[in-house]
Chains A and B, each alone.
Chain A
Amino acid sequence: MKVSTLARGLFSAIKTNTASLTRSHFTYYPTKLTDGSGGAQKMNMFQAINNAMDLALEEDNSALLFGEDVGFGGVFRCSINLRDKYGKDRVFNTPLCEQGIAGFAIGVANTGATAIAEIQFADYIFPSFDQIVNEAAKYRYRSGGLFDCGSLTFRVPCGAVGHGALYHSQSPEAYFAHTPGLRVVVPRGPIKAKGLLLACVRDPNPCLVFEPKTLYRAAVEEVPTASYAAELGKADILREGKDVTLIGWGTQVHVLLEVAEIAKKQMDIDCEVIDLVSILPWDTQTVCNSASKTGRVLVAHEAPFTQGFGSELAAYIQEKCFLRLEAPVKRVTGWDTPFPHVFEPFYLPDKHRCLAALKDIINY
């Protein structure tokens, strides 16, 4: 095809079909603050993360924040104004090298100082895989507790964003879930993002926070302005139900909340929706209690099917809740392909695919 034809095609698409680019596969369900104690402020997720880092830097003079382009505020604006406030020796750019960022962060943490390291996109975390898996995760264990890098937290934007294609869309949590020694968490919105980030910063183990980047601006809620920490390793039951358990994390939680609403309205099915929050270590108790109650489980995640974290959940539930299950655990996930550009609407485990799967397990 001639380049000019291609360019014209692209141009007209932009002019006439903007909806296709802004299409979002989920509706955001804000978390409502239950107790009104203390002040709260409307924030989107990047602002909540910014607020968390502001507090972390204020509370702990040893805390450092670094990565590619974090100095001017970050490509997602998460670190905006922090360099001005805390100085460029505490909030700074590194050279463009993920293995360096990870290794550097481990060294900072070895001395007991707090390191908050940013990997610009989860898709680019793989060059630092060795440092994270072989080094960070094993530091305390291999040294018999003489040394550790527990004061280290990685912030990693992840997940589908509408047009991110192969290298701006990935959800690599399952790779890290196979690594003893790490904590892996995924927030579903601003309140959780702030709480998880502060909890990870204080936790004495190396932590990975995968932040669904599509929520940075889309997710808005009233966020407490004070410092607080979410409980690590704990799942949240967002909606109680008796018929089916729906489990997801990150953006997918919002897809599942909508699915639950539709299922109730159209089929009178009562769904229990669980935000897993922590991928490693994960909350087996909450999941098994719910699975035992409902007898039917659907797990949904954006990452590919084979060896996705849904496999771990399905196998565990099958082993622990075998006699209570009324249907096989169903996994609705991304396909076993790289994450595609123009086919994204067909790739994602959207509400329609989840609803169809839900019908299957109800009718099983």
Chain B
Amino acid sequence: MSFLRKSVKLLSAVGAVKNNAKMIDQLGAVSAHKGYSSSSSGRSAENRATFPGARDAPFVNDLKLTMPEDYAPIPIYRVMDRDGYILNDNEDPQLSKEVVEKMFHDMLLLSTMDKILYESQRQGRISFYMTNFGEEASHIGSAAALEMRDIIYGQYREAGVLVWRGFRIDQFIDQCYGNVDDLGRGKQMPVHYGSKELNFVTISSPLSTQIPQAVGAAYALKRRPDNDACVVCYFGEGAASEGDTHAAFNFAATLECPVILFCRNNGFAISTPSNEQYRGDGIAGRGPMGYGIATIRVDGTDVFAVYNAMKKAREYVLRENKPIVFEALAYRVGHHSTSDDSTAYRSADEIEVWNTLEHPISKLKSYMVHKGWFNEQQETEFVSSVRKQVLKQIAVSEKKLKPNYREMFEGVYDTIPEHLQEQQRELEQHIEAHKEFYPLKNFKQ
């Protein structure tokens, strides 16, 4: 019944459409779509669309599927080649020797610490570890382009950002041991770092949850008077498949937040290669057409490319109060974690290429050699001093007591509510009566 009535109304409305054609003509300020010519259009009035859902789109009269192949892949920005030569002098960031040396040393420190902590997990000294091999340049290059007041949200493979910001070897290792000096009070697994002082929000295991959070933080920063801080959120290309990533990209765009959405695309999510993760043009491909976000794709093994791009991204997000999708392409040279053997799903030869020819540290080293800034002896000494520090710290950190077990009840709420105090007392009484069954000597009393 109601359908028929509507049809009648529609029919009688057809006449009115002609009268409205002029109005519609004026409404639709049409910008010609790049990918389509309007050659097949007939009368001009019909070529003006006024649908609220896509205001700028023109009509076409030939049916054509829009294919992924219609779009060229977003190019990869790089500054130096694999031999450490600057490709375009205009793009040389002209960083001072001191800055480049800090970049190099921080990458080496991260890599050296990773090797030793990885081994110490294999020896059963810490419960878990994740290395950063192959991605050192994307951490250091991006961190170097930021200000300390910029807030970082990470996934778990961004320890280099902390290194750049001054997180100390003892802080890394104390966290991995969850001892009494761990800033996180022994509550999370190893590599779940956080530092209020360094504006690095504590890592959590659920993937992608940090991305909409980073967007919210950026929105709050934007509202501060004279804001000059942005938010950078790191995540892997696997995490980008989570619903939270979609949420974050869309919120960042519609709510206009100064956030850099930094994807570390290293080709693998544990064993899943990126061609089983998505079929579009990586993560960068989602930015401009998908969410209306300005996008940069860089060579993540080129520390200068990452640095330049982040400088530009930071400037853009703060100037425009808009987000940027930033995709750094690299290769996960190490295993996913200490619980993974990656040769079960990829070849050792492939890994070897990325560990030598395309390795971020060797690229920067070559650059320094050309500049005459590289000193073999200094490098050896630096690495061996880091090794010594890390090994010594492991010995110190593993001897430190864990926090008092009562701290288990702290931080659930701002204060310990009555029911938790009761449970704490219950545990105290139980432990008092059964001391011998608990590892009390390892915990601060």
Contact = CB atoms under 8 A, between A and B. Distances in A.
Interface of A: 7, 62, 64, 89, 92, 94-95, 97, 99-100, 102-113, 115, 127, 130-131, 134-135, 138-148, 150, 180-181, 183, 204-205, 233, 281-282, 284-285
Contacts of B410: 145
B405 to A, nearest CB: 15
Interface string B176-209: 0000001111011000101110000110101001
Contacts, number: 158
A181 B244 CA distance: 22
Contact of A108 (B182, B192, B220): B220
23 contacts: A62-B223, A89-B223, A92-B255, A95-B247, A95-B251, A97-B243, A97-B247, A103-B216, A107-B214, A107-B215, A111-B220, A111-B221, A127-B243, A135-B204, A135-B213, A141-B412, A142-B184, A142-B202, A142-B204, A144-B194, A145-B185, A180-B420, A233-B417
B383 interface: no
Contacts of B194: 143-144, 146-147
Contacts of B247: 95, 97, 99-100, 103-104
Instruction: Name, among B247, B250, B418, the residue most crowded by chain A CB atoms within 10 Å (CB to CB).
Output: B247
Interface of B: 1, 151, 153, 182-185, 187-188, 192, 194-196, 201-202, 204, 206, 209, 211-221, 223, 231, 243-244, 246-248, 250-251, 254-255, 410-414, 417-420
A233 B410 CA distance: 18
A95 B246 CA distance: 11
A183 B218 CA distance: 26
A97 B291 CA distance: 14
B411 A145 contact: yes
Nearest to A102: B212
B413 A205 contact: yes
Nearest to A89: B223
Contacts of A142: 184, 187-188, 192, 202, 204
A217 to B, nearest CB: 28
B254 A95 contact: yes
Nearest to A285: B418
A140 B204 CA distance: 12
Nearest to B413: A205
B183 A144 contact: yes
A281 B417 contact: yes
Contact of B218 (A107, A134, A150): A107
A108 B209 CA distance: 14
Contact residues of B: prevailing secondary structure: mixed
A102 to B, nearest CB: 8
Contact of A138 (B182, B195, B204, B418): B204
A111 B192 CA distance: 20
A204 B412 CA distance: 11
Contacts of B246: 97, 100
A103 B206 contact: no
A141 B255 CA distance: 30
Given A103-B216, A108-B220, A111-B220, A146 B184 contact: yes
Nearest to B408: A141
B291 to A, nearest CB: 10
A303 B151 CA distance: 41
Contact of A97 (B204, B251, B414): B251
A113 B221 CA distance: 9
Ranked 3 nearest A-B pairs via Cβ: A107-B216, A103-B212, A100-B247
B187 to A, nearest CB: 5
Nearest to B192: A142
A104 B222 CA distance: 14
B183 A104 contact: no
Given A107-B216, A142-B204, 5 more contacts: A64-B219, A100-B246, A104-B219, A142-B192, A282-B419
Nearest to A149: B213
A146 B202 contact: yes
A103 B414 contact: no
A97 B195 CA distance: 30
Contacts of A134: 204, 206, 209
B244 A107 contact: no
A14 to B, nearest CB: 13
B413 A181 contact: yes
Given A99-B212, A110-B216, A113-B220, A94 B204 contact: no
B19 to A, nearest CB: 31
Contacts of A285: 418
B202 A181 contact: no
B419 A135 contact: no
A10 to B, nearest CB: 12
Nearest to A90: B223
Contacts of A140: 411-414
B244 A103 contact: yes
A53 to B, nearest CB: 17
Contact of B414 (A105, A108, A150): A150
Contacts of B417: 233, 281
Contact of A104 (B195, B196, B216): B216
A131 B216 contact: no
Contacts of B195: 146
A99 to B, nearest CB: 5
A147 B414 contact: no
B202 A143 contact: yes
A207 to B, nearest CB: 11
A284 B418 contact: yes
A283 to B, nearest CB: 9
Nearest to A140: B411
Contacts of B204: 134-135, 138, 142
Nearest to A100: B247
Contacts of A104: 212-213, 215-216, 219, 247, 251, 255
